[in-house]
Structure 1
Amino acid sequence: MNRHRRSAKNILYSRRQVMKSLIFLIMFMSGLVNAQIPKTLSYQGVLTDASGTAVTDGSYSLTFKLYESATSGPLVWEETQSVTVANGIFSVILGSSTTLNLLFNKQYWLGIAVDGGSELQPRIQLTSAAYSLNAQSVADSAVTGAAIASGSVVRSINSLTEDVNLVAGDNVTVVNDGNSVVISTTGLGLTFPFSVTVNEPDRPFNIVNIGLGGVAAFQTLNENTLFPVLDITQRGIGVAGVFSITKSDNFKPALEATTKGQGPVILVEHKGSAGNLAEFETLSERKVTISRDGDIIAAGDLEIGGKIIFGDNTEQTTAASSNGAGWLLRGNTGIDTSNFIGTLDYLPFEIKVNDARGFRLEPAGSGTFFSPNLIGGFAGNEVTNNAIGATIGGGGLNTNSHQISADFGAIGGGTKNLVSARFGTVSGGSSNTTSGEFAVIGGGEGNRAVATFVGSADFGAIGGGKQNLVSGRFGTVSGGSSNTSSGQFAAVGGGESNQASVDHATVAGGKSNRAENFFTTVSGGELNTAFKSHGTIAGGKSNSTEAGFATVSGGQKNLASASHATIGGGELNTASEIHTTVSGGKNNAASYFYDTVGGGRDNVAKSSESGAATVGGGERNQAIGDYATVSGGLNNIARGTESTVSGGDFNTASRNYSTVGGGRNNIAANQGATVPGGRGNHARGSHSFAAGYHARAIHNGSFVWNDRSVTSGNDSLVSTANNQFLIRAAGGVGIGTNSPGFPLEMGSGAHVTTGGVWTNASSRAYKEKITNLSTEEALSAFQNLNPVKYNYKNETDEQYVGFIAEDVPELVATKDRKSLSPMDIVAIMTKVVQQQQAVISKLQERMVELENRE
């Protein structure tokens, strides 16, 4: 399973863009507290299956490994995390469980495995973001000479092995003295051989080397005839003293100071012919330092009171504290609450960049009992209406500035966002507005959490998206476009143009869906509407629920218009009475209590009194009677109570308990009548049975089975009386056999001949233990037979002659003595007659003999 895609980088990039302003604020605050660099990495990705579909939401075990190679080893770091995946997207912090003890001074590749499976290919090459961890090695600004490559900079002149060239320029003349140039680092003077020139009007301030000649000049470079100057003086009260650089015996210029007026000062005095001030300026990227006895003056040892005059004659008050300690740009140590950047009065404090305001702190009241307003980003961002505790992290543009007009409001970034109620928050995005207390907008564009009456939008939340609206208390829109949550606790998950307009209504997503009553739910789809309370639509298009607790699971243009009615899906289906159900299909209707249509097309379940009619499926079937059932087929009707048509086409079960199993054009038209199948069969008598082809059981209790042997004329077999059992089977009726050779044949071999004679089975193949019947046994049984006359009790008008089973001799009696076998009587009579015939034959012979004697 391919659960990783490189598109995760795009996702991560877009999220970074969204949070850009917030990250700026967080980084700014982190710098103030000097937080350590975390040894972790953020990583996001997408898990999909082999077809590119996002995996099921849930928790997955992901193993992350770092290698020094794209295809082999070595493995330098590994950890496994349980990661929550939603819509395929996951986000992790690498290093959460196993510390990232790597320097990130070389290339690394990331490998990922899912749920203990093989590692996904290819490995992912880490980009520059991870290697920023290498910056921790200089976190204390301790860059030493050893950290700089040899030959890159000049660290020491004494140890140089390469040539040092000092090239003359406009402002200095270089004269070599032998093979050495010495720059002293001690004393108050400067030893250097300079060339000597006279002061010139266009160079108003010169340092003159009186000894060896040559001039090194500090001068203004502006060609303005007013000669811009560098002024180091105290202007105002008193007269400044003067310092000058003069030659000493060892060629080190000395610094002299005099005092004039009310205090000692140092005055750099112009000695030229024009102007009265001088300018110090560096001509390269090197810095100017102020030192004492060779050491740079530390913080606290230098105090600049008064004002600094810039080249454009603007003034800036210095940042010296009352105890003389300054605030160093490279960091400070040993500070306390008396050392700070800020104000001591009820005035705002600003930080600028490129001469434009980048951050502003506004006091919110006297003393420390009130939270100040923090305003970052565009200079036009503002906090109005005397609000306190407000925060604007950044963002804003000309004509698209942020505004907060209520206490403790917050805007993270973006442009043109507005917070006008207490504790409201807009994290980012553009043109977002919240006027509900404690309301939150995560981002996006044109989103509004606004009150239509006092307090209506309080605690509302919009995650993002575009043009979304929350106007109900505790309402939520997670994202999407043009969605509306206007009821209390109403929620829209996303999508487009969805509405959750009453309390506790929910639309999860989709487009143009509406949840318009209490506790209604539309999970997705398009143009679905849940009108009544507790109604539910899972998805699909143009579906509706118009009664409480009604449900439409999906499909298109389905309507569940009665309480607790249910439609599973399909198209144009209707469940219009309490507890009715249409599972699916098209244009099906369940229209009375508890009626059900499983599916199919144009089917109707419409009972009348008790309800619970069922159509399983098929097309144009109707279950009209209470508890009636049509399982399927085409154009079948179950009209009677508890009637059933199992399938087939054009079948009808029209009376109570009637049944048609299937087939075509069959009718069960009386109570309990049954047609199991076939074609054109009618069971019209009560509890009648008609099967086969054109069988007509039209009398009560009649059973008619008709074959297809008659192919012309009147081919029907029709009952003529109640309780008949009629069979037309041209191929014979078999009982105990599947291949009858006679109109009726038993499995024992007995049968009725075509001529209508009953014939017992008598084959030797059916018999065993065969012995001859003795004359004595036959004569004894014969002599004990008692022929009688009688009629059967259920047939009083017919007289019979025969024997009583209980009275016959044992030889011809059956086991239960309830019946007789005629062939048994015939057998003993045959034996007796045979014996009698033998006697007769002997007597005849005797008579002939006697006659011959005469």
Structure 2
Amino acid sequence: MNKRPLFLSVFFMIVLTAVAYSQHGFSIGTPSERSVPQLLNYQGYLTDTLQIPLDDTLDMVFKIYDASSGGNELWNETQTGVIIERGVFSVLLGSVNAIPDSVFTVDTARWLELTVGGEVLSPRTRITSVGYAYTATYSDTAEYARNATADNDWTRGSAPLDSVLFTADYLGIARGGAGNMLFGNDVYTHTNLGIACTTGTSGEDLVYCTVTGGYGNIAAWNGATISGGSSNTADSAYAVIGGGESNTASHWYATISGGWNNSAEDACATIGGGQDNTVINRYATIGGGESNEVSGNYGVVSGGDNNNCSAYYGTIGGGSQNYVGGSYSAILGGYADTITTGAGYSYLFGIAGKLTQDSTFMVDMPHIRFGDESTGYEFPAADGAADQVMVTDGSGQLSWTSGSSWSKWTVSDSVLYTKNRWGVARGGAGNVLYGTNTYTHTNLGGFQCATGVDGENYSYITVCGGYNNRGDSSYSTVVGGYQNRAYGASSFVGGGSGNTGGGYQSFIGGGASNTTSHSHTVVAGGLSNDAGGDYSVISGGRDNTAGAYAAVVAGGRNNSADYNYAVISGGYNNTAGSPYAVIGGGNANFIESAYSAILGGYADTIAAGASYSYLFGITSKLTQDSTFMVDMPHIRFGDESTGYEFPAADGFANQAMVTDGSGQLSWADIEDNDWIRGSPDSVLFTTKALGVARGGVGNILYGDYVYRHLNFGGYACTTGTDGSNWTYLVICGGYGNLADSSYAAVVNGIRNKARGQYSFIGSGHYNYTTGQASAVCGGRSNEADGFRSFIGGGYSNEAGDSPSDTAAVVSGGWDNSATARYSFVGGGKNNNARGLYSVVSGGGGSTAADSNSARGDYSVVAGGSGNIATNSYSTVSGGGDNTAGGSYSTVNGGWSNSTAGTSSIVGGGYMNKANGYTSVVAGGRVNTANNYYTAICGGYADTVNGHYSGALSGYSNLAGD
């Protein structure tokens, strides 16, 4: 035998009974009816030392003793060739050597010893009440039962634990009267607190399955966890679903945070939320959105709708109907763009564009611009004729022309009931409660679980179920699973295996071997992830690290974000090694400079010193500060049929870029230009300090310093204000644009107004900047009024409603507003961030009633619809119509839930309320925790009013007056 069994679970049952029931009541059988079969059904579960179930055929010896060790042997038999499949075997004891009924007598204890393959397993297993049904042969009439005493399954422990309630044997926990099902002979390791929910699978013998609330949820494999929601299914090892409806996590370590009808179908797959999203390959990630699909290993779709990533390490940032089929390729967003299967290591920016070529950076847009605010220019939309050169018209528009007339510059002079307070623990399972405050503990662990620490006096610790779980600090919680530990104050572990919650108010949803070591950290699921910085987040995946303040890793494998505010969306082996660094996905990418970004790809590096930079490449390295670098074998503008490709390297001095007429640009000597060559003779100079404007299109430059203006507007654009004297104003193009404060700039678009000093508008229509150093990148009718405020794009968004709203940010969306200092709205519609440092990540809806609102200072609404975080440090993770009203309170999801007490938590469900200080409602429906340190694990219409009181589950329970 090459494997040693480490763990044995056994179950006994009488095969036949001698009792019959009449139509209207109980009747006693005749002597011919009361013959009891001398057989016992025995079933066991065997694993090796690594907890791996055995698959083998072995001989087994069974013996019954009158003592747990030593003692007298009362019976034995040997069964040969017992088949073990996936660790499970089943035999009939007495089928070889009949068991006499004299073995089981009243007031005696019996133990079964098992020898497998010559190895005696220890300890012996005590035979419980069902084996004593052999004595049914003495039950001629009910007279034999007159002196029976009453019993129940709960007992009081002996001192010093006389304030603790224990169960009499191993138990699972399930809410009654709610149609819940626990399948398997190991159901004592399950926790099921929902309605019409199921843990385990019929015909299987699964362990550590957990459903903490909701309706119709199914946790159908070892270690699977569902926190709440409706009709969700986690049917693979250590799969996790946080909430939502109709979600399916069908492979090991798969994670779905919430949403509707999402499906994570392979190992370590991660879906953050949204609707109808599908991940069908390992380590892949979908952040949210609708109808998105990722089928490639380590692929990433951050959001949007109907996007499809089928490539290894492929990345789609968002948008609609985009497709990436080439490995290590990426589409940032947009509409209906396609990178085909053969186009690996490529990037596409377009509108319904298609890229088929390998290792290509392609921009297929009607307008393609390069350069900074003062010297930018727009490229032609198509290739030119053979031998033509690219020249500028002096107002930022490049075009093709013959060599003889390539330059025509003109100079002008004109810018969250017991009687007394008792602890509760399950008995006969090796559970332990430490400390003089154990009456405030709840320990319902399946086996060998502990609350508190020997020698310490922690309070309000909860272990709901599972095996060998520990809660080691005040207010810590472990819901279920195997060998999980919550040792940080107010820390939470939902399920899974080997997870460690060590940070203050930290959260682990499930998975295996995950760690949170700092305050307010989150690991939603996955395998071997470590959130090691305050407020850091890991959504799923494997072997990921978020090791600094507010660092984020969305998924993938072996990714590391170890600096403040660093972000990695997914992929494999990526490192964000500097503050505010961003990596979208891919493999082996590395950033060690602040505020820099790599979208995806393979083995790209932004080195130290190259801050504020962007890199698109293949095994490329960027060392220069404030640089946009594209290091690709092929760099194309326009589509593949009419676009053109740039040279791979620089030319000689004074050479110009020339096309061959079939889409390939090269360097060539140019015979003439209209600029005056100065000293040194490699520099072109104007003869005076001049402003530059495009003539003949109604452009206007105001002020005495117009020679410091650049106005390349397409038509009727204005730099400066009549009667004022602003300097260094820039308009690169567009129609009716205005720049009228010093250092303001408008790149393009229609009727945009840059009115704050150092303000910037990239493009779009009717955009407006009044705050100093504010910026609007594009979109329509957006307004940036706060000092250093920013709007990425979208429609009718507002960043700051006064100059004091420093650094307010709206990334995009529709009718969103960030109107407090350092507030942030990521996107969606009708969302608002009104508190200092408040955040709304997205979501919202078509009306103001659907909007998400972060109103308290440092408050967060991660998504959903109609959610409100009204107090300081309050959080709503998602769902709909939820309100986090207490400071430091959290609503994790569900619908119409609310928190009013400080540090209160609602895990999910529907219309639950956590009103007391540090109160908790884990899930269910219409439950209310009204006083401080109260808790409700789930159920329907339960109310807890007394201090330190709780309700496990059920319907319309009341704890406290």
TM-score range, shorter-chain basis? 0.3 to 0.5
| TM-score, L = length of structure 1 | 0.34
| TM-score, L = length of structure 2 | 0.31
Higher RCO (CA < 8 A, seq sep 6+): 2
